[in-house]
Structure 1
Amino acid sequence: MIRKHMFLDLFFPNRCLHCNMIIDADFLTCTLCFEKIQFTHFDYFGENILKEICKTLFPIENAYALLQFEKESVSQKIIHELKYKSREKTGHIIANWITKRIDFKNEKPDLIASIPLHKKKLKERGYNQLHLFAETLSEFYSIPFDHEIITKVHYSKAQALKDKKHRLKTENIFSANKNISGKHILLVDDVFTTGNTMSAAVWEILTMGNNKVSILVMAIDK
């Protein structure tokens, strides 16, 4: 196994996804390009633009986005590396960035859940880009995770490939799989755009029972 990794590092070295410089296998960018990443510096427990938007869509406890998602930015490249270039371990790296910024203290959620992919999309991509991300957070914070609370029943093309008009058509795209009640659920996703997909998922969770929801996303596109 060690020889295999040495071979891959020698002939297929890991490169900074922004400037293409050869970097350590566990990094996404070089040191200089890391400084160009647009972190939001949100306070998970405080007020921020994401929480304000969510309040207009559904009942919310806390809301947090790690990155500012902008066209041609380093943050966009990071998310696209995860979603469209089969680099699932990017989710693990992003989760580690979050663990350095959020301390749940005595207000830990009871459960971590992720926005599901439709089974056809899952087959096409080969993995759900949120699973390793959620599982890394789960292990660090000692919060159980469940990827099967809700199911996506409506197949659609990637949000990044839609125009704004079609992004709004998200009604009835999820269905509940379990009867969970009286829990504070941390729902995670990659990019928050219009908020309609997140809203549909949150309302499905809320209808299960007397639940509370907080959301955590990798990036906000606002």
Structure 2
Amino acid sequence: MKIINNFFELFYPKLCANCDAQLIENEPILCTFCRHDLPLTNFEDYRDNKISKIFYGRISIEKAFSLMFYRKEGISRKLIHELKYKGNEDVGVFFGNWLGEMLKENKKFNDIDCIIPVPLHPKKLRQRGYNQVSKFAKTVSIHLKKPFIENLLTRTSSTKTQTLQSRFERFTNNDTKFLLTNYNTFKNKHVLLVDDVITTGATLEACSKELQKTENIKISFLTIAYTEQNL
């Protein structure tokens, strides 16, 4: 099998998603040079950081963490667009493995009970063919050995993608709505809500307000990227 794979890669080499350099063994998605160029947040405090402060006075959360900063130009934008618009779900798996291993080692989310991906509206899911967050969230759940629960939280309104909106539109967009189909499932549970990018936090806030109709629920956030200029 390895010989067949090597023969295939000779004619169809795997390329870095950022610079198109040929990847070598043990280099998934990114070459080593581009991986080192990622704008990592390096937040050590998961309870009190720039991300958690977005939600002060809006909703109550336990912890929040994003792996890297989302910039208008550069590698982080290219990777998110590969994941979100070009069907490259391997990007989500790549970051899921990275964050899953990191969180397993630092034990920051050891107290969570389950992991939920932010859902897409059914119409957008049909158009795109996949939820870009699902494989990312599921991969994290495998590392943390926590249940991955999809489809109980649904999106009931369809809005324009936030990464394509102006900053004013993002701040004034309060129309995103979600529905939890069973308010007993997460009773007395600590839920890790997972998304790809935090912009203003409006989507995660809307999800949380619906989830908080559950008795004694705790909520934390995890995303691949965070748009720093929102603060």
Asked whether the 8 Å contact 1:113–1:188 carries over to 2, the reply is yes
| DSSP 3-state at the match of 1:100 | helix
Asked whether the 8 Å contact 2:100–2:139 carries over to 1, the reply is no
Aligned match of 1:170: 174
| DSSP 3-state at the match of 1:185 | strand
Kindly provide the amino acid, as one letter, of the partner of residue 16 in structure 1: C
Tell me which of 181, 184, 197 is aligned to 2:187: 181
Asked whether the 8 Å contact 2:96–2:140 carries over to 1, the reply is yes
Structure 2 Cα separation of the partners of residues 4 and 71 of structure 1 = 40
Query: 1:207: Cα distance to partner?
Result: 1.0
Asked whether the 8 Å contact 2:158–2:176 carries over to 1, the reply is no
Query: 1:165: Cα distance to partner?
Result: 2.9
- Does residue 151 in structure 1 map to residue 151 in structure 2? no
| Residues matched between the structures, number | 222
Shift in alpha-carbon separation, 1:187–1:7, aligned structure 2, 3 A: same
Kindly provide the amino acid, as one letter, of the partner of residue 129 in structure 2: G
Aligned match of 2:18: 18
Structure 2 Cα separation of the partners of residues 72 and 43 of structure 1 = 26
Calculate the TM-score normalised by the size of structure 1: 0.91
Percent of aligned pairs sharing the same letter: 35
Shift in alpha-carbon separation, 1:201–1:8, aligned structure 2, 3 A: farther
Aligned match of 1:81: 82
Structure 2: where are the runs of 5+ without partners?
Answer: none
Kindly provide the amino acid, as one letter, of the partner of residue 215 in structure 2: G
Structure 2 Cα separation of the partners of residues 53 and 118 of structure 1 = 24
Query: 1:137: Cα distance to partner?
Result: 1.1
- Does residue 29 in structure 1 map to residue 30 in structure 2? yes
Calculate the TM-score normalised by the size of structure 2: 0.88
Structure 1: where are the runs of 5+ without partners?
Answer: none
